Amino acid sequence: MRHSIDGHSIEAHPTDGCPIFAAPFAAKVGFHKIVPLFLVLTLSLTAAASLPDGSWLGKVPPDEHQKTNPYSGQPDAIAAGRRIYADHCRKCHGENAEGTKKRPPLRSDIVQQIATDGDLHWLLVNGYMKKGMPSWSKLPDPQLWQLITYIKSLR
């Protein structure tokens, strides 16, 4: 399902992590009950992605959105990610990722719940240069995933 946000197309991925939308269940309860759920989810996603720091979600290609984090949940990766965060991110996003005057928090629902690890990886690689977020492609991929593991651990 695609929506338009800020003139960009966004893949909503309504079934990600939501087994309620599995086909057999849908057939069982009927589509007349699922459609309103879809609408609610779509509107929530649209509203969240329209926030100042969420419009980038509309640019993430579907294959990037679905990328999985090879370090997800690993304590060593969280520790390594914390060091990377302190070196490269803390100054703009705050000591504890609470955000600063000009830069968004990384404890927000957009980062912690709506964006997948793949979305965050895409953002780090490409940046959002129009809004002041630089590309971090100079960091090797494993370090980007470690950083994402740390950020997600702040949930």
The DSSP H or E segment spanning 9 is strand 8-11
Which residue stretch of 5-13, 21-29, 40-48, 137-145 sits at the interface with another protein (rule: CB under 8 A)?
137-145
Two tokens, residue 116 = 């997948």
In whole angstroms, what is the distance from residue 86 CA to residue 93 CA?
Answer: 10
In whole angstroms, what is the distance from residue 94 CA to residue 56 CA?
Answer: 20
Which residue stretch of 20-28, 30-38, 80-88, 104-112 sits at the interface with another protein (rule: CB under 8 A)?
80-88
CB 83, min distance to another protein, A = 6
Q: Which of 5, 57, 115, 133: binder of another protein (CB under 8 A)?
A: 133
Two tokens, residue 77 = 């990766």
CB 44, min distance to another protein, A = 27
Torsion of CA 125, 128, 133, 136, to 10 degrees: 10
Interaction of residue 35 with another protein, rule CB under 8 A: no
> How many residues interact with another protein (rule CB under 8 A)?
30
Which residue stretch of 8-16, 22-30, 38-46, 135-143 sits at the interface with another protein (rule: CB under 8 A)?
135-143
